[in-house]
Amino acid sequence: MSESKDFENPSVRKQGSMKTRTVQSIGYILVDANGKLVGTTGFSRDINDRKEMARALEESERSKAVLISNLPGVAYRCKNDKNWTMTFLSDGCYELTGYYPEELLNNNLVSYNELIHPDFRDVVYDQWGNDIKANRKSDDEYVIVTKSGEEKWVWEQSVPVPDKDGNLTESEGFILDITANKKILTALDASEDRFRTIFEKAPIGIGIFNTNTGIMHQINQKFSEIVGRTPEELSSLDWNSYSHPAELQENIDKLNQLKKKKNSSFSMNKRYIKPDGSIVWVNMMIVPFKSETISDMHLCMIEDITEKKQKEDEIIYLSFHDSLTGLYNRTFFEEEKRRFDASRRLPMSLIMGDVNGLKLINDSFGHGAGDNLLREIGRILKETCRAEDVLARIGGDEFVILLSGTGEAGAERLCQRIYKACRNYEKRTDKHTFYLSLSLGYATKNVNDVSVDDLLRDAEHMLYRKKNPERKKVRTTILQAIKKQLMAQNFASPQDYQALVTHAEELSEKLGLPTEQMKQLHLLLETHDMGELSLDKKLLSKDVADYSAEELDEYRKHAETGYRVALAVPEMNDIASEILAHHENWDGTGYPRGLKGHEIPILSRIIRVIDDYDDLTRKETVEDKPNQAVIAATLLTGAGTLYDPTIVEEFVDLIKR
Q: What is the pLDDT of residue 389?
A: 95
Q: Higher model confidence: residue 107 or residue 8?
A: 107
Phi, psi (rounded to 5 degrees) for 589: -95, 5
- Amino acid at the residue 337: K
Q: pLDDT (tens digit, 9 = 90+) per residue, 417-426?
A: 999 999 899 8
Going by C-beta distance under 8 Å and a sequence separation of 6 or more, which residues neighbour residue 433?
369, 372, 373, 376
Report CA 70 to chain centroid distance, whole Å.
Answer: 64
165 pLDDT exceeds 80? yes
Strands (E), 36-183: 37-46, 74-79, 86-89, 138-145, 151-162, 168-177
Burial class (CB in 10 A: 0-12, 13-18, 19+), 607: buried
Instruction: Give Cα separations from 323 to 105, 326, 330, 355, 433 (angstroms).
Output: 94, 6, 12, 17, 18
Going by C-beta distance under 8 Å and a sequence separation of 6 or more, which residues neighbour residue 367?
none
- Amino acid at the residue 329: N
6 pLDDT exceeds 60? no
Q: What is the pLDDT of residue 435?
A: 81
Strands 297-304 and 205-210: antiparallel
The hierarchical CATH code for the domain 322-469 is 3.30.70.270
Nearest C-alpha neighbor of 605 from the set 648, 575, 656, 566? 648
62 pLDDT band, cuts 50/70/90, is low
- The kind and range of the H/E element at 180 are helix 179-201
Cis link prior to 162 (omega < 30° from 0)? Answer: no
Cis link prior to 347 (omega < 30° from 0)? Answer: yes
367 pLDDT band, cuts 50/70/90, is confident
Instruction: Give Cα separations from 455 to 356, 411, 415, 484, 489 (angstroms).
Output: 22, 12, 16, 38, 43
49 pLDDT band, cuts 50/70/90, is low
* H-state helical runs in 4-117: 48-69, 92-97, 101-104, 112-115
620 pLDDT band, cuts 50/70/90, is very low
How far is the C-alpha of 199 from the C-alpha of 486, rounded, in Å? 67
Q: pLDDT (tens digit, 9 = 90+) per residue, 206-236?
A: 999 999 899 999 999 999 999 999 999 999 9
SS3 72: coil
Query: Could you tell me the maximum CA-CA distance found in the chain, to the nearest angstrom?
Result: 197
Q: What is the pLDDT of residue 233?
A: 92
Q: What is the pLDDT of residue 185?
A: 77
Least confident range from 328-332, 528-532, 574-578: namely: 528-532
Q: What is the pLDDT of residue 72?
A: 67
70 pLDDT band, cuts 50/70/90, is low
How far is the C-alpha of 649 from the C-alpha of 96, rounded, in Å? 122
Q: So where are the chain's domains?
A: 2-55, 71-183, 204-310, 322-469, 491-656
171 pLDDT band, cuts 50/70/90, is very high
User: Which residues, in sequence order, are bridge partners of residue 159?
Assistant: 172
Q: What is the pLDDT of residue 1?
A: 46
4 pLDDT exceeds 90? no
Q: Do domains 71-183 and 204-310 have the same CATH topology?
A: yes
Burial class (CB in 10 A: 0-12, 13-18, 19+), 155: middle
Burial class (CB in 10 A: 0-12, 13-18, 19+), 479: buried
- Per-residue 3-state assignment (H helix, E strand, C coil) for 326-370: CCECHHHHHHHHHHHHHCCCCCEEEEEEEECCHHHHHHHHCHHHH
Strand order in the sheet with 398-404: 390-393, 398-404, 348-355, 438-445
Q: Say which CATH architecture domain 2-55 belongs to.
A: Ribbon (2.10)
Nearest C-alpha neighbor of 442 from the set 427, 425, 428, 457? 457
Going by C-beta distance under 8 Å and a sequence separation of 6 or more, which residues neighbour residue 301?
204, 205, 206, 207, 284, 285, 286, 287
pLDDT (average), residues 156-182: 91
pLDDT (average), residues 393-407: 95
Percent of the chain, pLDDT > 90?
61
Going by C-beta distance under 8 Å and a sequence separation of 6 or more, which residues neighbour residue 273?
242, 243, 244, 279
First to last CA, the chain: 186
- The kind and range of the H/E element at 229 are none
| CB 47 within 8 Å of CB 24 | yes
The hierarchical CATH code for the domain 491-656 is 1.10.3210.10
Q: Higher model confidence: residue 472 or residue 463?
A: 463
Report CA 555 to chain centroid distance, whole Å.
Answer: 42
Mean pLDDT of the chain: 87
How far is the C-alpha of 234 from the C-alpha of 242, rounded, in Å? 9
Q: How many CB atoms lie within 10 A of CB 508?
A: 21
| CB 174 within 8 Å of CB 76 | yes
Q: pLDDT (tens digit, 9 = 90+) per residue, 76-88?
A: 999 999 999 999 9
Q: pLDDT (tens digit, 9 = 90+) per residue, 545-563?
A: 899 999 999 999 999 999 9
Instruction: Give Cα separations from 375 to 114, 313, 326, 432, 436 (angstroms).
Output: 92, 22, 8, 9, 10
User: Using CA of residue 644, residue 645, residue 647, residue 649, what is the dihedral sign?
Assistant: positive
Q: What is the pLDDT of residue 482?
A: 81
Half-sphere CA count of 500, side-chain side, radius 13 A = 27
Q: How many CB atoms lie within 10 A of CB 322?
A: 21
Strands 74-79 and 86-89: antiparallel
Q: pLDDT (tens digit, 9 = 90+) per residue, 36-47?
A: 777 766 666 666
CATH superfamily of 204-310: PAS domain (3.30.450.20)
Report CA 79 to chain centroid distance, whole Å.
Answer: 69
Give the fold, CATH level 3, of 71-183: Beta-Lactamase (3.30.450)
| CB 459 within 8 Å of CB 351 | yes
pLDDT (average), residues 91-97: 91
